[in-house]
């Protein structure tokens, strides 16, 4: 028997690809010879990593500087309860190899930064953006434009998602988004339906497999817009911006590193919250929606944010010398509420990190008694 590209086991494993018209042994060989870089092992990275590992992409470099958190498990299906507290990149590698031992993975437990630029070069087949922030996407874009490497972009927001494939010589990400949006909340503050990153991750994985195996592409130089409520898909042709750095050759500028909501200035920690809430001159206010309130709460009065925002200096009969502590799911709406109450001349603070921070603290200290 002469030496072959695939082992007996691999040939059996990939038989459904090999039997597929227009894919075949040639397509499978291209996958095996590919090196993909996945930046981010969150909601998008989980399905991307699992499906590309299962499909038989030969070599991976995966980045994530985060550790697995309990709140990730609602959508980051590559992880399980035992991974909580451990590095995402290393746990993801472990699960990918458990799924397919015939692949090679370099796991980097760090966020993708300019110092990693050298890890993307002419030998990189494709980069997959599975992050949740614009700064990293600009960095991926700039590196890929310079190195002439194709990359796939995906993002999600509440019930909608976007995906695009940027290839050398066509419009780049900066042609599409010359500047980051004013406010780009991530899943931690905006919330996300659990399957949506899964769907967008699979759009990415699907386009990645087609790109790597030379099948016809649908998202090259196009932006896909997906609405999870209507199940509608739109595709928009992208155009090169002649002023963009990909055309002028000027070095891309990185935007400010502070994209996500800053930590509240007028906020209190969980420890202080637990101390203050029992005081006679303190009122705790849950500013979340009715549905959230019914789902779970830790007491206090219920006054939704929208209602608080209708208060004015003169129309409220609230007590000026009372301390109001607002809380919501993650601390962002309660911060807005506290700021508004302060503007109405009241003493108000927000529970930093919201109910999530409170629950984490409670589960650590075994005192889950609202
Ligand atoms: Zn450009």
Question: 187 C-alpha vs ligand 1 centroid, how far in Å?
Answer: 27
Per DSSP, what are the bridge partners of residue 327? 286
Phi then psi dihedrals of residue 236, to 5 deg: -115, 130
pLDDT at site 261? 29
Question: 274 C-alpha vs ligand 1 centroid, how far in Å?
Answer: 51
Question: 199 C-alpha vs ligand 1 centroid, how far in Å?
Answer: 27
pLDDT at site 346? 86
Q: Which of 130, 144, 187, 244 is catalytic?
A: 187
pLDDT at site 262? 29
Parts of the chain belonging to CATH 3.40.50.720:
34-248
> Among 181, 129, 188, 187, which residue's Cα sits nearest to residue 158?
187
- DSSP H or E stretch at residue 95: helix 88-99
> Among 140, 135, 139, 127, which residue's Cα sits nearest to residue 207?
127
Q: Write out the CATH class of domain 34-248.
A: alpha beta
Q: Number of helices (H) and strands (E), helices first, in the chain?
A: 15, 13
> Among 120, 180, 179, which residue's Cα sits nearest to residue 151?
120
Does this model's pTM top 0.75?
Answer: no
Range of lowest pLDDT (20-34, 185-199, 307-321): 185-199
Does 119 score more than 90 pLDDT? yes
Parts of the chain belonging to CATH 3.40.250.10:
267-365
Here the tokens at position 299 are 């007491």
Q: List pLDDT tens digits, range 209-229.
A: 999 999 999 999 999 999 999
Q: List pLDDT tens digits, range 237-273.
A: 999 999 998 988 776 554 433 333 223 357 888 888 8
Q: At what angle do helices 45-55 and 88-99 cross, to 10 degrees?
A: 30
* Residue range 87-105: mean pLDDT, rounded: 98
Question: 298 C-alpha vs ligand 1 centroid, how far in Å?
Answer: 49
CB 64 within 8 A of CB 41: yes
In Å, the largest CA–CA distance within the chain is: 89
CA-CA distance, 295 to 292, in Å (whole number)? 5
pLDDT at site 263? 30
Q: Is 144 a catalytic residue?
A: no
Domain 267-365, what fold?
Oxidized Rhodanese; domain 1 (3.40.250)
Question: 145 C-alpha vs ligand 1 centroid, how far in Å?
Answer: 8
């Amino acid at each position: 028997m002469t030496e072959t590209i695939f082992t007996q086991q691999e040939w059996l494993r990939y038989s459904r690809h090999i039997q597929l018209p227009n894919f075949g042994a040639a397509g499978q060989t291209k996958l095996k010879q590919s090196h993909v870089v996945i930046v981010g092992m969150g909601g998008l990275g989980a399905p991307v990593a699992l499906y590309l590992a299962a499909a038989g992409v030969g070599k991976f470099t995966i980045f994530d500087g985060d550790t697995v958190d309990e709140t990730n498990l609602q959508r980051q299906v590559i992880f399980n309860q035992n991974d909580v507290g451990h590095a995402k990149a290393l746990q993801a590698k472990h699960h990918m190899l458990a799924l397919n031992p015939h692949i090679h993975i370099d796991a980097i437990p760090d966020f993708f930064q300019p110092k990693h630029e050298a890890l993307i070069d002419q030998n990189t087949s494709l980069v997959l953006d599975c992050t949740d922030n614009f700064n990293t996407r600009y960095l991926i874009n700039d590196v890929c434009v310079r190195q002439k490497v194709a990359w796939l972009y995906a993002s999600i927001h509440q019930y909608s998602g976007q995906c695009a494939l940027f290839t050398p010589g066509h419009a780049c990400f900066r042609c599409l988004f010359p500047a980051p949006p004013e406010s780009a909340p991530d899943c931690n503050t905006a919330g996300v339906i659990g399957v949506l990153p899964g769907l967008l991750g699979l759009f990415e994985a699907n386009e990645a497999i087609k790109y790597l195996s030379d099948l016809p592409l649908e998202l090259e130089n196009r932006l896909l817009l997906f609405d999870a409520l209507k199940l509608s898909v739109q595709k928009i042709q992208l155009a090169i911006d002649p002023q963009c750095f990909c055309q002028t050759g000027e070095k891309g500028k990185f935007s400010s590193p502070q994209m996500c909501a800053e930590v509240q200035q007028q906020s209190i920690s969980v420890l202080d919250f637990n101390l203050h809430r029992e005081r006679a001159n303190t009122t705790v206010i849950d500013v979340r929606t009715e549905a959230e309130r019914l789902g779970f709460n830790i007491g206090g009065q219920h006054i939704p944010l929208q209602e608080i925002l209708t208060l004015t200096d003169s129309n409220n009969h609230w007590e000026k010398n009372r301390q109001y502590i607002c809380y919501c799911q993650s601390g962002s709406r309660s911060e807005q509420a506290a700021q508004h109450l302060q503007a109405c001349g009241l003493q108000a603070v927000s529970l930093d990190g919201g109910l999530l921070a409170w629950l984490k603290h409670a589960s650590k200290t075994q005192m889950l008694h609202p």
